[in-house]
Amino acid sequence: MSATMRAAIYAGPGDIRVEDYPMPDQPGPGELLVRIKACGVCGSDVTDWYMTPRAPVVMGHEPAGDVVAVGTGATTFAVGDRVAIHHHVPCMVCDVCQHGHYTLCPTFKRTRLYPAGMAEYVRIPAEIVERDILKIPEGMSYEAAALVEPIACCVRALDRANIRQGDTVLILGVGFNGITMGMLAPHWGASKVALLDRQPTRMERARSMGFTVFNVDDADLKAQIKAWSDVGPHAVICTPSNQKALDLAFDLTGPGGTLMMYAPTPPESTWPLNMNRTLFQEITVTGSYSASPLDTRRTMALLKDGLIDANKLITHRFPLEQADKAWHLTKAAGDSLKVMVEI
CATH code of residue 338? 3.90.180.10
Specify whether 17 is located in the same domain as 35: yes
253 and 126 in one domain? no
Tell me how far apart the alpha carbons of residues 90 and 127 are, in angstroms, rounded to a whole number.
9
SS3 for 258-275, per residue? EEEECCCCCCCCCCCCCH
Whether the per-residue pLDDT at 132 is higher than 90: the answer is yes
Structural domain harbouring 194: 162-287
**Residues 72 and 91 reside in one and the same domain:** yes
Distance between CA atoms of 336 and 317, rounded to whole angstroms?
10
Q: What percent of the chain has pLDDT over 70?
A: 100
pLDDT for 334: 87
Segment 129-135 shows an average pLDDT of 98
In the predicted model, is pLDDT for residue 40 greater than 90?
yes
Buried-state track 298-336, b at ≥16 Cβ within 10 A, e below 16: bbbebbeeeebebeebbebebebebbeebbebbbebeeb
Task: Please count the structural domains in the chain.
Answer: 2
Choose one of 241, 266, 287: the last residue of a domain: 287
335: pLDDT confidence band, cut at 50, 70 and 90? Answer: confident
Same domain? 266 vs 179 = yes
Q: What's the pLDDT at 233?
A: 98
pLDDT of 162-215, one tens digit each?
999 999 999 999 999 999 999 999 999 999 999 999 999 999 999 999 999 999
155, part of any domain: no
How far apart are alpha carbons 336 and 319 in whole angstroms?
Answer: 16
Within a domain: residue 294?
Answer: yes
One domain, residues 240 and 200: yes
Asked whether residue 297 is assigned to any structural domain, the reply reads yes
Lowest-confidence segment of 121-125, 180-184, 185-189, 330-334 by average pLDDT: 330-334
CATH of the domain at 209: 3.40.50.720
- pTM beyond 0.95: the answer is yes
Rounded to an integer, what is the distance from CA 166 to the centroid of its chain?
26
User: Is residue 246 over pLDDT 90?
Assistant: yes
pLDDT at 156: 98
- Whether 157 is covered by a domain: the verdict is no
Q: Could you tell me if 268 and 298 lie in one domain? A: no
Whether residue 329 sits in one domain with residue 254:
no
Give the pLDDT confidence of 57-116 residue by residue, as tens digits.
999 999 999 999 999 999 999 999 999 999 999 999 999 999 999 999 999 999 999 999
Q: What is the pLDDT of residues 16-35, one digit of tens each?
A: 999 999 999 999 999 999 99
Q: What is the pLDDT of residues 267-307, one digit of tens each?
A: 999 999 999 999 999 999 999 999 999 999 999 999 999 99
Instruction: Look at residue 179 in the predicted model and tell me its pLDDT.
Output: 97
> What is the pLDDT, as a whole number, of residue 1?
74
Q: Based on the domain organization, do 172 and 83 belong to the same domain?
A: no
Task: Examine residue 56 and say whether the peptide bond preceding it is cis (omega within 30 degrees of 0).
Answer: yes
